[in-house]
């Protein structure tokens, strides 16, 4: 996998406590909790960082980087790409308002309006 690419989320998410979940802008109380590693990657997928920066950042969270960390992250990224929850880009991207922050930080009416204006669909 090309680690120089930027990664960004394509889904609305929520972050409550230490849990990251998928969220529905029309039903904000209905969420689907993500496995911990997937949640970490989704929450960091802001379009401003490369996959290499993700690996480096995650490795820096430990006194000694765990064996297989890069392989674990690669597997998580591949699953998120297959599920169309993240995408890759050759350059930095600016996230649309409704994907830039967790749902609890959004003005839901504004987010809904902008989604319609943008023609946003999950896939």
pLDDT tens column, 44-92:
999 999 999 999 999 888 888 788 888 999 999 999 999 999 999 999 9
Whole-structure pTM value: 0.89
The verdict on residue 66 lying in a domain is: yes
User: The domain containing residue 40 runs over which residues?
Assistant: 6-118
The verdict on residue 123 lying in a domain is: no
User: Domain tally for the chain?
Assistant: 1
The verdict on residue 17 lying in a domain is: yes
Q: How far is CA 82 from CA 63, 79, 112, in A?
A: 32, 5, 25
Confidence of residue 40 (pLDDT cuts 50, 70, 90): very high
The verdict on residue 114 lying in a domain is: yes
The verdict on residue 25 lying in a domain is: yes
The verdict on residue 30 lying in a domain is: yes
Confidence of residue 17 (pLDDT cuts 50, 70, 90): confident
What does the angle CA 56 – CA 59 – CA 60 come to, to the nearest 5 degrees? 85
The verdict on residue 109 lying in a domain is: yes
Is the pLDDT confidence value at 122 over 70? no
- Which H or E run includes 108? helix 108-118
The verdict on residue 26 lying in a domain is: yes
């Amino acid at each position: 996998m090309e680690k120089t690419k930027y990664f960004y989320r394509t889904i609305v998410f929520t972050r409550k406590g230490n849990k990251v979940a998928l969220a529905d802008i029309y039903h904000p109380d209905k969420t689907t909790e993500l496995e911990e590693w997937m949640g970490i990657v989704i929450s960091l997928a802001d379009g401003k960082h490369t996959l290499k920066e993700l690996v480096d950042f995650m490795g820096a969270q430990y006194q000694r980087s765990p064996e297989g960390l890069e392989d674990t992250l690669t597997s998580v990224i591949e699953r998120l790409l297959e599920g169309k929850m993240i995408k890759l880009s050759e350059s930095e991207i600016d996230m649309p308002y409704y994907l830039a922050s967790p749902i609890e930080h959004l003005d839901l009416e504004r987010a809904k309006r902008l989604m319609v204006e943008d023609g946003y669909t999950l896939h």
